Chain A
Amino acid sequence: MAEGKSRVDVARRQFLGGAGVAGAAAAAAHALTPVAPASAQTPAQAAPPSNAQPQPAGYTFFKPQEALFIEAVVDHMVPKDELTPSGTDIGLATYIDRALAGSWGKGDRLYMQGPWQRGTANQGYQLPLTPAALYRAGIEGANAHCRKAYGQTFDRCTAEQKETFLRELSGGKITLAGGLPGRAFFTALYENVMEGMFADPIYGGNRDKVCWKMIGFPGVSANNAENIKTYNDGRRFAANPVGIADMS
């Protein structure tokens, strides 16, 4: 992706598949049969994403400026290379958007009674913000910080500037506007990027199970009662990964 180029490109994204809701019913259940061993898991298998199962494009939570930020973050953290397409192309921004728009983003299973105090690191998350509210304030604060430090919003920064900013944010060196601790925002962001990569593709990320293929995770695996007898000597078990949609 060229620096600063907008990725809010709905027409293009309509062709970026993913095991979305519509595709679920069409897919047949796969038996988890071993394919060629270890060496067959080559990077070439991991890309590019197929267009077989189009899923709805666009965002239901992110505003345009927020979408630019998130796309830039996931493409920086997960660049296109021999292992996977870019973060945006494997659905990470879509995954985070859906998570924030849903019940988790609205604070499901989060105790939200005050009074509020910072607390110690051992006491964990203590902000009066749902994940959705944390992203809203976090993105705004991150862009304000980048404008001040680099003269432009995060998505327009150079790769080096992005790297520096994310390292400082993860290292707890940045306090965002209004006193929001940068690290709390980073923690949520990082966890969600990891979830988008490695959760079942039915949630919109890990498109074409590309991240499962990258590591050799077989997905919604079934019967290993025989495999445990065979693959217990250091040999690698390899299988085409199976997702929830494939078995539904």
Chain B
Amino acid sequence: MATKLPPVDIVIVGMGWTGGILAKELGPTGLKITVLERGGTRVPQNDFAVPLIRDELRFSSRHDMMMDVSQDTYSIRNNPSETALPMRRLGSFLPGEGVGGAGAHWNGVTWRWPDHELRIRSKYEERYGKNYIPADMPLQDWGVTGEEIEPYYDRFEYVAGISGKAGNLKGQIQKEGNAFEDPRSREYPLPPLLQNHASQLFTKTARELGYHPFIRPTANASQPYTNPDGMKIGQCQYCGFCERFGCEANAKGSPLITVIPVAMRNPNVELRTYSWVTKVLKDSTGKKATGVQYVNTLTGEEMEQPADLVILAGYILSNVHLMLLSGIGKPYDSQTQTGVIGKNYAYQAGAGVTLFFEDRSFNPFIATGGWGTSIDDFHTNWNFDRTKHGGIGGAYITVGGSHGRPISYRPLPPGTPQWGSDWKRAVAKWYQGSLNISASASVMPNRINYLDLDPTYTNRFGQPLMRMTFEFRENEHKLVRHAAEVIGGIGKAMNPTLMSKPAPRMTWSVVPYQSTHNTGGAVMGTDPNSSALNRHLQSWDVSNVFVTGASAFPHNSGYNPTGPVGALAYRMADAIREKYLKNPGSLI
């Protein structure tokens, strides 16, 4: 039997970016808030100390800061006809664990998803006609517009200290920024990062080809910065140990050095680490949550934490898993296409090409996380005519260079032997002279891409694992084939000594790392029959449960998700504080 604890007003599950934002924003209400985090504490000056943190083997190859899949993992398959098998090792994506969550070790890329992403179904129908959207694609509007979300993007960017250059300041196009972005009310808090040689070459060629390159916005601070809460962020040192690592210079906009310490100043906010929530508890009507059940993983004891309001703020897959385990909302059934939990799961597609220059050094180790120069001509550019290549969405293209850590970064031309002296000579020859052009492409929902509970495999507490059924479908194939053509054209025009064949990703494998941008499964929307959450990220079925994170995204764009994840968390906090707490119940 679980030990029943004294009730609190609000319980938040997970202490990463969104848990931190909610705790910080709701703290001043004076309500008693308990945050339950399944991992341990992190203190940057201790956990991220040099030289300890500069260890590629420990933090990158062996995933020291990530979810431990021996305790809980996902079963995976490409299609419903296959038997899902457990992801026995991390690979394709890397959920975080511990205080700070993935925000402690992310790269930092922060985009504003434009209005045409948020109103995707309406916009495509309006422009291309209703028949343009395939029948097997449950595409839907998010229930929020670009204009409504702009102030919240702004808040998140100023809290995280994003370095970038505006492309559209209140309707005025700025040449150095992303000309295709939606209007923004003010500049980024920090100027863009400096460019490396690879980005300069890319910029020059992209301009010559008529594209619109700009330095990608990211949470790696180009200058020292103090955010609106008075939290200090240091200047990025381009150390090349960013994503998968914590930052010893406090130069990465992270919840650990921004929202979490601010939230914890409030004596009514309590953080309990090593507290693994296994279930959201409901009353006999099933319409109201009464709190959560969790395991204190230091002792193994089961605890019950009663609360009036439950906010799920874990990684997207953890949020959906908890909803399925707790019966919050009706599970999605791919056969009948009814139910909502697990629906519209999406991942990210892409393509890449490697260029080899005999006479140049790019010094790949002088680098930082979200760094890069991008073009958005085939993605956020709404004037890009999708009919020519087919498909919905697009791909943004980047020459990045987040690191040159040699266990994982050793580009070699096709045909190089795998070992021996000739292999070594090739590694030595090309390590410095290579660059990669990558395309990150949208993934639209498909009726047979979804999340549900596995019938066979269980986690450390005997609960069913979450099962992921996912494959890149026809729409993604169209996008990545086109993206491969574009990056191949740019690559050729950059005139390298050698170039690999542009490679579109056509099938999803759990093995190589691709992206941690999983989305959907508890999506927001305007119709309870097709979404799990309303436009305030409140459960349609259990109105005192709110769910943050990319689980709310009804589709995935080519962009990184953290911009809207942060913005929607701020928007949810406003809705809870200004509406829900005054009159608890459904906000719609």
Contacts and interface: CB of A to CB of B under 8 A. Distances in A.
B236 interface: yes
B409 to A, nearest CB: 9
Interface in B49-75: 50-52, 54-57, 61-63, 68-70, 73
Contacts of B507: 122
B406 A232 contact: no
Contact of B424 (A78, A200, A235, A246): A78
B391 to A, nearest CB: 23
Contact of A215 (B89, B197, B419, B428): B428
B502 to A, nearest CB: 21
Interface stretch (B78-86, B281-289, B373-381, B547-555): B78-86
Looking at A199, A219, A246, which has the most chain B CB atoms within 10 Å of its CB?
A199
Interface in A207-223: 211-212, 214-223
Contacts of A218: 365
A232 B404 contact: no
Interface stretch (B155-163, B324-332, B508-516): B508-516
Nearest to B367: A224
B432 A236 contact: yes
A199 B419 contact: no
Interface string A181-194: 00000000010011
A214 B421 contact: no
B421 A215 contact: no
Contacts of B510: 122-124
B88 A199 contact: no
A247 interface: yes
Contacts of A217: 365, 404-406, 431
Interface residues of B, number: 68
Contacts of A193: 419
B253 to A, nearest CB: 17
Interface in A90-142: 104, 107-113, 115, 117, 119-126
Contacts of B62: 104, 108-109
Given A76-B419, A195-B61, A231 B55 contact: no
A117 B83 contact: yes
B456 interface: yes
Interface string B376-416: 00000000000000000000000000001111001000000
Contacts of B582: none
Contact of B238 (A79, A83, A214, A228): A228
Nearest to A121: B509
A70 to B, nearest CB: 14
Given A199-B407, A228-B366, A247 B511 contact: no
A232 B432 contact: no
Contacts of B196: 228, 232
Given A123-B76, A215-B432, A248-B51, A38 B361 contact: yes
A221 B367 CA distance: 11
Nearest to A107: B70
A111 B86 contact: yes
Contacts of B54: 200, 219-221, 244
B587 interface: no
Nearest to B201: A234
Nearest to B193: A228
A79 B457 contact: no
B interface secondary structure, majority:
loop
Contact of A228 (B194, B419, B508): B194
A244 B54 CA distance: 8
Interface string B224-253: 000000000001111110000000000000
B129 to A, nearest CB: 35
Given A109-B68, A124-B509, A220-B54, A225 B424 contact: no
Contact of A212 (B89, B406, B424, B457): B406
A111 B87 contact: yes
Nearest to B419: A77
A125 B89 CA distance: 7
A233 interface: yes
Interface in A148-178: 166, 170
Chain A interface mostly helix, strand, loop or mixed? Answer: loop
B130 interface: no
B357 to A, nearest CB: 8
Interface residues of A, number: 67
B63 A109 contact: yes
Contact of B78 (A120, A194, A211, A244): A120
B361 A200 contact: no
A198 interface: yes
B88 A215 contact: no
Contact of A83 (B361, B425, B458, B509): B425
Contacts of A224: 237-240, 365-367
A81 interface: yes
B363 interface: yes
A222 B83 CA distance: 47
Contacts of B87: 111, 123-124
A51 interface: no
B420 interface: yes
Contact of A110 (B69, B366, B458): B69
B148 interface: no
B463 interface: no
B369 to A, nearest CB: 13
A95 to B, nearest CB: 9
Given A83-B425, A111-B88, A166 B55 contact: no
B427 interface: yes
B406 A198 contact: yes
A15 interface: no
Contacts of B70: 107-112
A218 B83 CA distance: 46
Contacts of B420: 76-77, 79
A219 B237 CA distance: 15
Contacts of A115: 456
B470 to A, nearest CB: 10
A216 B406 CA distance: 10
Contacts of B52: 244
A119 B85 contact: yes
B69 A111 contact: yes
Given A190-B418, A232-B196, A234-B359, A122 B511 contact: yes
Contacts of B91: 124
Contacts of B77: 123
B195 interface: yes
A63 interface: no
A194 B407 contact: yes
Interface in B412-450: 418-421, 424-425, 427-428, 431-432
Given A117-B83, A120-B78, 16 more contacts: A78-B424, A111-B73, A111-B86, A125-B88, A126-B88, A190-B419, A198-B56, A211-B406, A214-B428, A215-B427, A215-B428, A225-B236, A231-B197, A236-B361, A237-B361, A248-B51
27 contacts: A77-B419, A83-B425, A109-B63, A109-B89, A109-B90, A112-B70, A117-B83, A121-B511, A122-B509, A123-B510, A124-B509, A193-B419, A194-B410, A195-B61, A197-B406, A200-B56, A211-B406, A214-B424, A217-B406, A224-B240, A225-B237, A225-B238, A228-B196, A228-B366, A234-B361, A237-B363, A248-B51
Nearest 6 pairs of A and B residues by beta carbon: A236-B361, A77-B419, A224-B238, A198-B406, A215-B431, A199-B57
